[in-house]
Each structure stands twice: as structure tokens, then as C-alpha cells.
Structure 1
């Protein structure tokens, strides 16, 4: 389960960032997780419960925002919704679509005290 190592990194980054800004505790973490990122939000939530204890993020809540898949069709010249990686353009059916969102995993923001 790669979500465990991902969440360990998120907690490490959150704690380090909080300390750098003089905070004593991380209160909440908001993540953006793309629907095409191959990251399971429920597994992230489970791993969050396992890895946060014993850190300054020990009582932090976790909110996960799902980011839809989107791409730029080189043939149509417009932004289109993507339901899968390397999927065809829903308008013209061609596969010359560059993914522009939906594969991200990033910390949106932290609340610290």
C-alpha cells in the first residue's frame, strides 16, 4: 500500500512546516487528490489514523478534496473532461489529449496553532 508512505511524507511535511513557522501543533491538513492519481482516499484516511500519533499532528484532522481529470485536446483545441489516463477526447475520439489535472497529490493548506 503506497498510501502509507505517502501519508508519512504528508505528516512529515506538515510537522516540519509547522515548526518552521513557530507553531506547536498541526490542527488540520487539506489535501488535493486527483481522481486519476491512483491514490485511494479511503486508504489515505486509514493511514492518516495510523501515522499521525506521536507527532505534533497527532490530533490533526484530514480533509481530502478530489480533483477531476481534465486535459487539453490537441486536435479539438479545447479543455475536456478525462475519465481515465490516456483516454480519448470525449468530443473527437482521438487520443491526443494532454492531461492538465487529475493526477495531483498536494497539500492544499495546513491549519496550525
Structure 2
């Protein structure tokens, strides 16, 4: 299950960012995940919960934005949704796709940090002399 190694890498990157910027906790992390990336979102969610335990991401929500697969034809420059499994034949001219335009993404799009609120400073009782 490579989803666990992906979740661990996400947690590690967020931990590094937290340390660099002085954050102590995150409330959510958003990922852009291409439908052709070969990652099962439910398995990634489960793995994220395990990997986040004891870190700045413990209890944080994992938001996954699915990015549809799109291809572009080398012959006529038509772009289309590939679907799953991907169809790489141009629907217009029946040529083969030159490249995948989207759908293989897997990156952190956003981290929402928990704002630390320091406890109010209470004045110590004034001592009389």
C-alpha cells in the first residue's frame, strides 16, 4: 500500500514547514490528486490518519481535490477528458495523445494552521509594603 508512504511524506513536509515557521498545529491539509496518479483516496485518508498521529497534523482534516485526467492530441491539438481507464485516442481525429495535460498530480495545495492563542496575562496581586 503505497498510500502510507505518500501520507508519511505529506506529514513530513508539513512538519518541516511547521518547524520553519513556528506553527504548533494544523487544522487541515489539502492535496491535489490526479485521477491517473494511481492513488486510492480512501486508502490515503486512512493512511494519513495513522501517519499524522503524534504530529502537528494529529486530528487535522485531509481534503482531497480530484484532478481529472486530460490529454492533448499531437495531430490536431484537441484536448479531452481521458476518463479511467484512460482513453488516449483523440475523439476528433483518432490520433494518439501527445501527452497527458493533467491527472497525474499529487501535491500539497494548502495547509491551514491552527492559530495559537496565548492565555491572557493576569496581573499578579500588588504587594503592599
With normalisation by structure 2, the TM-score equals 0.81
SS at match of 1:111: strand
Partner of residue 18, structure 1: 18
Higher strand share: 1
* Structure 2: segments with no counterpart, 5+ residues: 115-129
SS at match of 2:16: helix
* Structure 1: segments with no counterpart, 5+ residues: none
Write out per-residue CA displacement over residues 62-86 of structure 1, whole angstroms, 9 at most, x where no aligned residue.
0000000012211111322112457
Structure 1 runs of 4+ aligned residues shifted over 6 Å read none
Cα shift at 1:93: 1.9
Distance 1:82 1:63 in 2: 23
Q: How many residues align?
A: 113
Partner of residue 95, structure 2: 94
Larger radius of gyration: 2
Write out per-residue CA displacement over residues 20-47 of structure 1, whole angstroms, 9 at most, x where no aligned residue.
1111111110001000110110110110
C-alpha contact 1:25 1:57 (8 A) present in aligned 2: yes
- Which range moved further: 68-77 or 87-96? 87-96
Is 1:27 aligned to 2:27, yes or no?
yes
